[in-house]
């Protein structure tokens, strides 16, 4: 089923993101996580696409398992930065063969070696190409706080308009910790006439140093009070995880109270923590299927 059709039911939607195991680990290492996430009845699970190249084939394989063995809708990420048109067509055909109808169309990060030759310069070019194939429901990335490559949010919104014009059906945001930044962003989108559903990307913190690395790369801002706690527990991952889960529960509850379209949980392949977050959300929002399942 297409994600746009899922929106015809009740919003908000709850989705999870997983990434394929590294090439030197068997692909089966993710199966148990997928089973545990499936038990939480998310509306869909997305699978990242390795920009480095090594585990790209695994994205299709894992998305197919989610869709065909676990009967959960799958969203396959796809980056175009170092692919030819023929390669994109081949991957798209494989996705269709596996019954996968949803693609998150991204440019991807340029490889360390510098610019590459590609048939698609920006995500919107990939979106246009996929739209011409006619069959996919297409998502795209959004950046409520800008990104290191471009901190001009107004310009980012113009690029989102181009993505919509090219055929994007919905957006998923980069991880954000400060909800006010999201609400400002959504207001600006509305002013610019962008009415496509927007999933808010929430990344629970499990480890201070890891999240500092990730926010440095993505440009996401961490609230000062929360960062002080992460500093306090920099050498104690168990405590950092506890305050990280507390923060995520409060953040998601506030987002749901503001009636966002969807929450996209960056699970980091950790199902136990995702369950704990949803279970604790049950105190405030018990009507969501994923929340009800986590409480069982």
Residue choice 12, 108, 144, 244 for contact with ligand FAD (CB under 6 A): 108
Q: Are 174 and 238 in contact (CB under 8 A)?
A: no
Pattern 167-206, ligand FAD, x by CB under 6 A: -----x-x--------------------------x-----
Task: Kindly give, in sequence order, each residue whose CB lies less than 8 Å from that of residue 125, ignoring residues fewer than 6 positions away.
Answer: 80, 119, 166
Query: Which string of DSSP letters, residue by residue, matches 205-241?
Result: -S-HHHHHHHHHHH-----HHHHHHHHHTTT-HHHHH
**Active-site entry in 17, 73, 98, 241:** 17
- The stretch near ligand FAD (CB under 6 A) out of 20-28, 116-124, 186-194, 226-234 is 116-124
Among 6, 141, 222, 249, binds ligand FAD (CB under 6 A): 141
**5, 22, 25, 109: which one binds ligand FAD (CB under 6 A):** 109
Strand bridging mode 73-79 / 102-106: parallel
Alpha-carbon distance 91 to 286, whole Å?
39
Report the residue number, 48 or 273, with the smaller CB distance to ligand FAD. 48
123 binds ligand FAD (CB under 6 A): yes
Which 3 state secondary structure label does DSSP give 128?
helix
Q: Which stretch binds ligand FAD (CB under 6 A): 6-14, 106-114, 226-234, 235-243?
A: 106-114
- φ/ψ of residue 269, rounded to 5: 65, 30
48 binds ligand FAD (CB under 6 A): yes
Q: How far apart are CA 280 and CA 271, in angstroms?
A: 14
CB of 74 to ligand FAD, least distance (A): 13
Residue 49 vs 136, nearer CB to ligand FAD:
49
17 catalytic? Reply is yes
For ligand FAD, the binding residue among 39, 61, 89, 162 (CB under 6 A) is 162
Q: In terms of Cα–Cα distance, which of 8, 9, 27 is closest to 66?
A: 27
- What phi, psi does 74 have (nearest 5°)? -115, 145
Segment interacting with ligand FAD (CB under 6 A) among 84-92, 130-138, 155-163, 222-230 = 155-163
Binding-site member from 15, 33, 64, 79 for ligand FAD (CB under 6 A): 79
Buried b (16+ CB within 10 A) or exposed e, 38-72: bebbbbbbbbbbbbeeebbebbbebbbbbbeebeb
* Residues forming the site for ligand FAD (CB under 6 A): 48-49, 51, 77, 79, 104, 106-109, 122-124, 141, 149-150, 156, 159, 162, 172, 174, 201
């Amino acid at each position: 089923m297409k994600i746009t059709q899922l929106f015809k039911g009740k919003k908000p939607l709850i989705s999870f993101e997983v990434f394929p195991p590294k090439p030197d680990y068997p692909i089966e290492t993710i199966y148990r996580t997928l089973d545990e996430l499936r038990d939480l009845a998310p509306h869909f699970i997305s699978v990242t696409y390795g920009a480095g190249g090594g585990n790209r084939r695994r994205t299709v394989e894992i998305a197919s398992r989610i869709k065909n063995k676990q009967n959960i809708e799958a969203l396959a990420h796809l980056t175009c930065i170092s692919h030819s048109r023929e390669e994109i067509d081949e991957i798209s055909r494989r996705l269709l063969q596996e019954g996968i109808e949803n693609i998150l169309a991204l440019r991807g990060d340029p490889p360390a070696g510098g610019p590459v030759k590609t048939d698609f310069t920006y995500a919107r070019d990939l979106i246009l190409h996929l739209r011409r194939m006619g069959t996919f429901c297409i998502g795209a990335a959004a950046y409520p706080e800008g990104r290191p490559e471009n901190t001009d949010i107004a310009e980012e919104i113009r690029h989102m308009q181009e993505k919509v014009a090219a055929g994007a059906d919905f957006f998923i945001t980069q991880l954000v910790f400060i909800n006010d930044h999201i609400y400002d962003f959504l207001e600006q989108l509305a002013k610019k006439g962008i009415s496509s559903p927007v999933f808010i990307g929430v990344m629970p913190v499990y480890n201070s140093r890891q999240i500092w690395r990730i926010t440095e790369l993505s440009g996401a801002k961490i609230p000062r009070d929360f960062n002080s706690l992460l500093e306090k527990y920099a050498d104690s991952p168990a405590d950092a995880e506890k305050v990280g889960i507390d923060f995520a529960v409060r953040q998601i509850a506030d987002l749901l109270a503001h009636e966002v379209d969807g929450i996209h949980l960056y699970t980091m392949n950790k199902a136990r923590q995702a369950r704990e977050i949803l279970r604790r959300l049950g105190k405030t929002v018990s009507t969501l299927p994923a929340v009800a399942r986590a409480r069982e």
